[in-house]
Amino acid sequence: MATLVRYNRIPAFVNPFYSRPVVNRFYNAQPNIPAVNVKESEGAFHIELAAPGLKKEELTINVENNTLTIAYKPEAKTDEATPKFTWHEFGFKAFERSFRLPKSVNADQIKATYTDGILSVELPKVEVKEEKLVKEIAIA
């Protein structure tokens, strides 16, 4: 699961075993996951997911427990024969991407658009009141 919180690459530079599972570095078990850009502006986070050629009706976005999930589930094609490829480098199977949201995101105001093969998700920020870390307890 990805996170919208800024990522620090220093531990991965010092020890590459912290960055991702060892197996994934030698064999990418999920080459089907589309690339994502996450940008932060003063008033919102912006996620851009590269998904060319997909139908927006087959994409779903939901938020549950401060986790934003983008999923693609293509319609099952029963009338077409499966093509026999001599070379196959692109195409999407079902995928799911999840992002842990910071408390500053207003989940009720999230908006998404799908234009020219790019799914754009805008996550507006709200002001979060800092909780007191020190609490005084009265002695009875």
Assess whether pLDDT exceeds 80 at residue 111: yes
Q: By three-state DSSP, how is residue 16 classified?
A: helix
Which CATH code is given to the segment(s) 2-78+88-124?
2.60.40.790
At residue 8, the pLDDT reads 55
- pLDDT above 90: residue 68: yes
- Give percent of the chain above pLDDT 90: 47
Q: Which regions of the chain does DSSP assign to beta strands (E)?
A: 2-3, 36-40, 44-50, 59-64, 67-72, 95-100, 111-115, 118-124
Give the range among 5-14, 19-28, 47-56, 118-127 with minimum mean pLDDT: 19-28
Confidence of residue 24 (pLDDT cuts 50, 70, 90): very low
pLDDT score of 108 more than 80: yes
Q: Show the tokens assigned to 39.
A: 């940008």
pLDDT score of 110 more than 60: yes
> Which amino acid would we find at residue 120?
S
- Mean pLDDT to the nearest integer, 19-28: 49
SS3 31: coil
pLDDT band at 65 (very low <50, low <70, confident <90, very high): very high
Domain boundaries, the chain: 2-78+88-124
Q: Tell me if 12 sits within 8 A of 18, measured CB to CB.
A: yes
* pLDDT tens-digit map of 72-93: 988 776 666 777 888 877 777 8
